[in-house]
A and B are shown apart, each in its own frame.
Chain A
Amino acid sequence: MAETGLNKVDLIFEQVNPKDVLKKAYEMTSEEIIKEILESGLKGRGGAGFPTGLKWKYTAAEKDPEKYVVCNADEGEPGTFKDREILDRVAYKVYCGMAIAGLAIGAKQGYVYLRGEYKFLLPKLLKELESFHKILAETGYDFRITYRLGSGAYICGEESALFESIQGERGEPRNKPPYPTVSGLFFKPTVINNVETLVTAMMIIHHGAEAYRKLGTKDSRGSKVFSVSGDTPIPGIYELELGMTVQQFVNEFGDGDTKAVQVGGASGFCVPRKRFADTIIGFEGVPTGGSMKLFNSSRSMYNVLHNYLEFFTEESCGQCTPCRVGCQQLLKGIEKVKKGEVKSSYLNELMKLADTMKLASKCGLGQSVGNAFKTIVENFREEIIY
């Protein structure tokens, strides 16, 4: 990867002895752990990018004796499959990260909310959990992890819908505030982190924040696991240092005919060829939970968008108006434009609707439908109309 300027990193899948890391964390105070994570600059790896250290700090500050650590393993974003790989290969590191988060905030119970479609991994994951619980028992640290399975709803990856689901309720996002740090699982202070975030946090404790900060950029520290798919000769999972441009990425993974890259899945942004060079993959440019989908010139961006919108009309929980009805309007709207049943200028109304959805939807799902819609329509308008 040297010629494309990409720096391959091996942090997430690096084998370590969990006992050593736990011991190290065990010797630190809650404040010291949180300080280390804060200084590392780690931001959530699920896509939204909230500073992990702050999440832990706010939850630690809550006085409630009952707190929870939740691992969000409901990996549902189209084109994302890195959490599956992490769980498959280094589940013990996920557990270790959860235990460290538990130490930091003062929680004794952790939950892993596993995507329903990943059920096939469960026997193996439970076996590894058993071993991990033994390690915890040996170190004398009182922390337990329990699995809960999703049932295929994308919305249950939204943190508060996930809590509702664990609680046995219909998986619908809650009103915020209060945020999970104050009122999360069972309405108790909760840290909820993505699979990769927890592993990264663990490795930060292992190697120290100083070492981690050396990777990445000012706004996007460290490295990230990418799920690369689409028109690429080498699809798969890659852990790369943050800070590269889309151009660098395409140079490495493209098939020589890449016309667009969808960064961050269906809820992410479409970067067209003309923007490859000046778009950084990261929080200063286009953020991503890991999904990188390449499209070459044989692909119809109308079909791509249509596919995303179909996905959202099905996967919106349906409770709030902008998301439930907005998704249907966007989908039906582009169909009518394509068929010539409404004027192509109707796309302008739909662009405004996408703005409303971003502004007025209740949760992140509805708020991000407009990302793909706007970036695809802006850059490939002719493909939508003709």
Chain B
Amino acid sequence: MVNLTINGQKVSVEPGTTVLEAAKKLNINIPTLCNHPDLCVAGNCRVCVVEQEGARTLIASCATPVSEGMKIQTNSLKVRNARKHIVELLLSEHRSDCTKCYKNQKCELQALANEFAFGESIFLDLVEDHPYTIDRSSPSFIKDDSKCIRCQRCVRTCSELQFISAVAVANKGKHQKISSFHDKPMSHVVCTNCGQCVNRCPTGALVEKTYIDYVWDAIYDPEKHVVVQTAPAVRVALGEDLGYDPGERVTGKLITALRQLGFDSVLDTDFTADLTIMEEGTELLTRLKKILVEGDKKTKLPMFTSCSPGWIKFIEHKYPEFLPNLSTCKSPQQMFGALVKTYYAQKRKLDPAKVVSVSIMPCTAKKYEADRPEMRASGYKDVDYVLTTRELAIMIKQAGIDFRALEPSHYDSIMGESTGAAVIFGATGGVMEAALRTAYEIVTGREVPFKNLNITPVRGLEGVKEASVKIEGCLNEWKFLEGIELRVAVAHGLANANRLMRKLRKGEADYHFIEIMACPGGCIGGGGQPIPTNEEIRKKRVAAIYEEDEHMIFRKSHENPEIIGVYKEFLGKPNSHKAHELLHTHYTERESY
């Protein structure tokens, strides 16, 4: 252990601990800006400087490991003056249109300014000295260089967590900026729209593109029937933006709030998550049959899940040779959209042209996904507007709803019924678990051999997870699978996905089925989720997801009565012609820059 003194208080910590962490142990708060618990230390904003006795300069507490006998002052006059200067300097480069900024009152720089730099500015305004661009090219987010403070959280997120580096540091000195490849618009580079950078940007430099006003317009249009779907991960995180602690489930209140906002029908993406399992599970079994029984060379394994639009764009850019391995199933959001303007409209006797379909997603990439030209199977734009969890919280506040006081209620029908298997789509490993629960039962007629249906090897926040299930006692139709050890893998966060893909490319790994989610932790850690998101918070959201699963009446997708209904009345059977038309898609190879 290393002993040191901070503000006169003694503390003992493990070697390698930073001064910042040691101070935290003493409940001494040191302000930070570039620091983020998910990312490597940068030490470049310098907001966290402290005074070390005997040192020539101040030291960055986030980047300095403790040493024996160190004497630290976190709040000396020297420190305060430097900190004030640093915040003032950051402000001088930042276009402070705070009252109109999307991040107003949620901005970390603003909070620091409030604390250290209120009143008249000391320094000259530099904003107009820098030519800046506001890049609105992505349907998912806006990149506004004039609000960037060069903390490089986005750069580190994109390279460390996602292994994409769609944004990187360009130029030096006063020209330094965060840029894309050759300054191309974000819509034209390798960016997956995952929004992990948006989730970590401390200012308004990276924010989601908001569609709130379009949704309000639709709600207040008497001609329109506005349907809303909510993704599984939203119900375990929305509360955080409305004053709840991380990990609190607010499903019932969420439904009531949506109804109060004026949506005509409040439905559940979980319904199409169950549908995805039916389609994807059948696709997997069909692929296995084609390869094992028919010896088809064109059919590829392992099959990859296709629910995560960030992952789809990643593989299109970086591993296009594996596109035939991607399940052709649309994501639950898009299956939902396609059904809303066909099946739902027919059943409810609505003109699909007058149906507006809105989705509430933990994700910014879903905005991009809804805009893809393939996503018009219904003859209309299947999903009209995608809002993030954060945007929904804003709408609830705009409407003056007292969220805490709401009575919980249930989803509308049809397309509101779901199972525990669908809920767990929100956490990494969830799609895999749901698929196994159903596929195993289809093949053997028995439940998966895991206690209480909980397939624990694919759960948890480890970067890459592996599991295998031995298939025994197959029903007649599936005898060709008898004795096969079904090998599966799960990765979340694109850097982990990349590790797995690299192995596959080299032929060093062999699986039948792989689940990949673009965001760390899966959808619960999505780019559209409440800020902050970090490992601790992800764990709490994951726990809430599995709690929700345990509370469901049905826990296997094929048991969902509305799923049975939709096949009976509309789709026929899984992977039928109609299902292919509406629920499946294709992919595009893209450049890797």
Contacts and interface: CB of A to CB of B under 8 A. Distances in A.
Interface string A319-348: 111101111110011001000001000000
B85 A362 contact: no
B46 A318 contact: no
Given A319-B169, A321-B45, A329-B124, 12 more contacts: A318-B172, A319-B42, A320-B44, A321-B47, A325-B92, A328-B174, A329-B89, A349-B123, A356-B86, A360-B58, A360-B82, A362-B46
Contacts of B85: 322, 352-353, 356, 360
B124 A321 contact: no
Nearest to A335: B124
Interface string A279-323: 000000000000000000000000000000000111111111110
Contacts of B57: 358-361, 367
A175 interface: yes
23 contacts: A153-B172, A172-B169, A314-B172, A314-B173, A316-B174, A318-B169, A318-B171, A318-B172, A318-B174, A319-B169, A322-B86, A325-B90, A325-B92, A325-B126, A327-B173, A332-B126, A353-B123, A356-B81, A359-B58, A360-B85, A361-B57, A362-B43, A362-B60
Contact of A321 (B58, B90, B126): B90
B122 A349 contact: yes
Contact of B169 (A170, A175, A320): A170
Interface string A154-180: 010000000000000010100101000
A359 B171 CA distance: 25
A175 B20 CA distance: 14
Contacts of B149: 321
B432 to A, nearest CB: 37
A318 B177 CA distance: 8
A315 to B, nearest CB: 6
Interface string B71-88: 000000010011001100
A175 B92 CA distance: 25
A319 B58 CA distance: 17
Interface of A: 153, 155, 170, 172, 175, 177, 312-322, 324-329, 332-333, 336, 342, 349, 352-353, 356, 358-362, 367
Which residue, of A326, A327, A333, A356, has the highest number of chain B Cβ atoms within 10 A? A356
Interface of B: 41-47, 49, 57-58, 60, 63-65, 78, 81-82, 85-86, 89-90, 92-93, 122-124, 126, 129, 149-150, 152, 169, 171-176
Given A332-B124, A356-B82, A359-B58, A320 B93 contact: no
B174 A313 contact: yes
Contacts of A358: 57
B174 A175 contact: no
A315 B173 contact: yes
Nearest to A313: B174
Which residue, of B46, B126, B175, has the highest number of chain A Cβ atoms within 10 A? B46
Q: Which 6 A-B pairs have the closest CB atoms?
A: A318-B176, A325-B89, A175-B63, A356-B85, A319-B44, A175-B43
Nearest to A178: B65
A312 B172 CA distance: 10
A320 to B, nearest CB: 5
A322 B46 contact: yes
Given A322-B46, A329-B126, A360-B49, A177 B150 contact: no
B129 A321 contact: no
Contacts of B173: 312-318, 324, 327
Nearest to A155: B172
A304 B406 CA distance: 69
B92 A321 contact: no
A326 B89 contact: yes
Contacts of B82: 322, 356, 359-360
Given A318-B150, A359-B82, A360-B86, A325 B172 contact: no
A328 B172 contact: no
Contacts of A352: 81, 85
A155 B47 CA distance: 22
A175 B41 contact: yes
Nearest to B57: A359
A329 B92 contact: yes
A353 B78 CA distance: 12
Which residue, of A316, A329, A352, A360, has the highest number of chain B Cβ atoms within 10 A? A360
B116 to A, nearest CB: 13
A322 B150 contact: no
A124 to B, nearest CB: 30
B64 to A, nearest CB: 7
A319 B126 CA distance: 17
Contacts of B86: 321-322, 356, 360
